[in-house]
Amino acid sequence: MKFLNDKAIERLRGSSIPDLSGTRYALRELIARGGMGVVYAAEDEKLHRRVALKVLDTAGTNAELTQRLIREARILAQLEHPGIVPVHDVGTLPDGRVFYTMKFVEGLRLDEYIKQLDSIPQRLRLFLRICDAAAFAHARGVLHRDLKPANVMVGSFGEVLVMDWGLAKILQEPTAAEETVVVSSQKKISSEEETQATVVTGHGTVMGTPGYMSPEQERGETEQIDARSDIFSLGALLKFVAASSQDRSERLPRALQAICAKATAKEPERRYESVSEFAADVSRHLDGLPVSAYSENVFEKLARFYKRHQIAILLITAYLVTRFLVLYFFHR
C-alpha cells in the first residue's frame, strides 16, 4: 500500500475546502452550501474588503457544473442593478475549479426579515423592489427561475437583493460585445462554452423549488418557460410576503388575493404578461386604486373610495353637517 504523507492526508480530508493560494482572496468561513456549490465568506486582500466567494464543491465538480457556474457569473455581470447582487471577479483555483466573488451581503434572508415588518403596505413595498429587480432582468432577457424567499436578502440598510442566479435562463443571445468574458488572467470563456451551458438547463431538466416553481417548470417544459414563469414564482412570493405578516385569522383583501391568484394561475396565458404589469397592480392596490385582477361590486367600490378619500370625506361631511345645523337653527 502506498504511504500517504501528512500533506496528502490533509488534502484528501479537506479536499472540498478550496485552496485559494495564488488568488487575492483569503478564506474566512462557510456561509451556505447549495445544490451546485458552496458560498464562503472571503477577504479580498488587495482591497481589504469582505466578499462572498462561490465555488463548486469538489464532490460535484464536473464540466457541466463548471459551465453553469461560469454562466451564472456572466449573467450577474450583465445585470447591474441595485436589486441584484453584483459580481466582482471570476477566477480559477489551482485545482481547476472555477469560482466567482460577489458582494458580501450582511443582512437577513427575506423569510427571516419579513417577520420584522408588521403592516401589509410595508411588506408590499418591499415586494415591489423584488419585482423591480426581476423586471430589470427580464428586460435584459434573463429569467431567474428560482425566485423564493431564501433567494432574497435584505441588507442592514434595507437594500433588497435577489441572489442565486444559478438556474437563470437567457432568453436573448448576448450581443457581440458580451461574447467573451475574462475568467482569469490566463483563461477566457468562449461563446462555445456558453452554448454548452445552455444545454445544461436544456429540455426536460426540472429545476426550481416546489411551491415556487410554475407548473410548466415542474413538468420540465423548458421551451415553454418565459417571463410568466417567474411571474408565477413572484405570485407565490407575494402570497408568502402578505400572508406571513398577518394574524392568520385575518383574511387578505380580496383585491390582493385576486392579484396573487392571477399571478399564480395554472395556465401561463391567464397570468400577467409582464412583471411591470404585475407590479403596477400591486402598486395600485397599495394606493387604494382598482386593480386589473379584480372586478369590484358597487359596495366595494364605495368602501375603497371612502378609504382612499377618508379625510376629505370626513371634512366635507363635517362641513355639511355644520352647515345644516346652522341653517336649521337660523330658520327656526
Residue 34, interface with another protein (CB under 8 A)? no
Residue 6, interface with another protein (CB under 8 A)? yes
Residue 15, interface with another protein (CB under 8 A)? yes
CA separation for the pair 101, 13 (Å, rounded): 25
Residue 2, interface with another protein (CB under 8 A)? yes
Single out the catalytic residue among 44, 146, 164, 230. Answer: 146
The dihedrals phi and psi of 215, each to the nearest 5 degrees, come to -60, -40
Cell of 80: 447591474
The least distance separating another protein from the CB of residue 92, rounded to whole angstroms, comes to 8
Residue 176, interface with another protein (CB under 8 A)? no
3 state DSSP class of 176: helix
3 state DSSP class of 251: coil
Q: Which is nearer to another protein, 31 or 286 (CB)?
A: 31
Beta-carbon contacts of 192 under 8 Å, excluding residues fewer than 6 positions away, are none
Residues of this chain, 87-126, that bind another protein according to CB under 8 A: 94-97
Residue 61, interface with another protein (CB under 8 A)? yes
Among the listed residues 14, 82, 202, 211, the single contact to another protein using CB under 8 A:
14
Cell of 244: 406571513
Q: 247 an active-site residue? A: no
- The strand ranges marked E within 72-195 are 87-92, 98-103, 107-109, 142-143, 152-155, 160-162, 169-170, 181-182, 188-189
Residue 29, interface with another protein (CB under 8 A)? no
Residue 11, interface with another protein (CB under 8 A)? yes
Q: Which is nearer to another protein, 172 or 185 (CB)?
A: 185
Residue 22, interface with another protein (CB under 8 A)? yes
Residue 192, interface with another protein (CB under 8 A)? no
Residue 24, interface with another protein (CB under 8 A)? no
Quick one: residue 96, left, alpha or beta (phi over 0 = left, psi -120 to 50 = alpha)?
A: left
Quick one: residue 117, left, alpha or beta (phi over 0 = left, psi -120 to 50 = alpha)?
A: beta
Residue 5, interface with another protein (CB under 8 A)? yes
The least distance separating another protein from the CB of residue 28, rounded to whole angstroms, comes to 16
Task: Enumerate the β-bridge partners of residue 52.
Answer: 41, 102
3 state DSSP class of 53: strand
CA separation for the pair 293, 301 (Å, rounded): 14
The least distance separating another protein from the CB of residue 9, rounded to whole angstroms, comes to 6
Residue 185, interface with another protein (CB under 8 A)? no
Among the listed residues 31, 32, 50, 60, the single contact to another protein using CB under 8 A:
60
Among the listed residues 29, 46, 48, 59, the single contact to another protein using CB under 8 A:
59
Q: Which is nearer to another protein, 17 or 280 (CB)?
A: 17
Nearest CA to 33 among 10, 19, 54? 54
Residues in touch with another protein (CB under 8 A): 1-9, 11-17, 22, 58-63, 66, 94-97, 186
Q: Which residues are catalytic?
A: 146
